[in-house]
Amino acid sequence: MTAPPDDGFRFELGSPMDQALVHTAVADPSGWRPHSESDDDDAAAAALDLFEGADDPVSALARDAETVLVDDHFRVGVNAEGEPHPEIVQLLRRHHAAFALDGRPGLIRGEEMPIVLQEGAELRSEPPRRASPEKRAAMDKAIEQLLDWNVIEPSTSPVSFPVLMVKQYDKWRFCVDYRGLNKVTVADRYPLPTADSVFNVLQGKR
């Protein structure tokens, strides 16, 4: 193996650069040049000086990413004056009912969803699963909260399905095992729209 020719230039790996600065530098590669033996540190840093000043693209990116909290729920980007965009704030306030606030799940009032079963299908009630005292306490707390939010209601149905408490990070997740119901439910074959079709519909809209 032969050594590469010595052309008077060298490339070194220094300390990691800020990711935003790297992206900005890539946008204008003309500012970069090889580091020769005769260059000093000030000359090598000349490319970085291109991104300093009032119109620093990195600072502009940081401003674009800045948000403020509105109505204790929504994080909205700010304009040149540092205030949340008024159009976005008005839109969020006008449709606040479409958002799950305070950790509440969504709730539709006035409409019921029918579940169509396969012809001749019979549902069998399943017994409740055993739960430790810790799971039972978390289950009771979740049920009380869902009742308070009017998400669920007491039922005397002849068919029931077991509740499962699943540990998710440091919290318990309230789940219901509906596999028996899913097996005899007539599937809805309505195709979900693709992302491209959704963007085509939104094109030109503001």
Over residues 157-176, the pLDDT tens digits come to 899 999 999 998 889 999 99
Asked whether residue 111 is domain-assigned, the answer is no
Q: Which domain holds residue 87?
A: 66-98
Q: Does residue 143 sit in the same domain as residue 92?
A: no
Whole-number Å distance between alpha carbons of 20 and 57? 9
Q: Does residue 70 sit in the same domain as residue 92?
A: yes
Q: Does residue 139 sit in the same domain as residue 163?
A: yes
Asked whether residue 28 is domain-assigned, the answer is yes
Residue 65 · residue 80 · CB < 8 Å: no
3-48 pLDDT, tens digit per residue, is 555 555 555 555 555 555 655 555 555 555 554 555 455 544 444 4
Asked whether residue 82 is domain-assigned, the answer is yes
Planar angle of CA 62, 67, 70, nearest 5 degrees: 170
pLDDT at 130: 92
Give the number of C-alpha atoms closer than 13 A to the C-alpha of residue 130, restricted to the C-beta side: 1
Q: Does residue 125 sit in the same domain as residue 151?
A: yes
Asked whether residue 52 is domain-assigned, the answer is yes
Prediction pTM value: 0.50
106-146 pLDDT, tens digit per residue, is 677 788 889 999 999 999 999 999 999 999 999 999 999 99
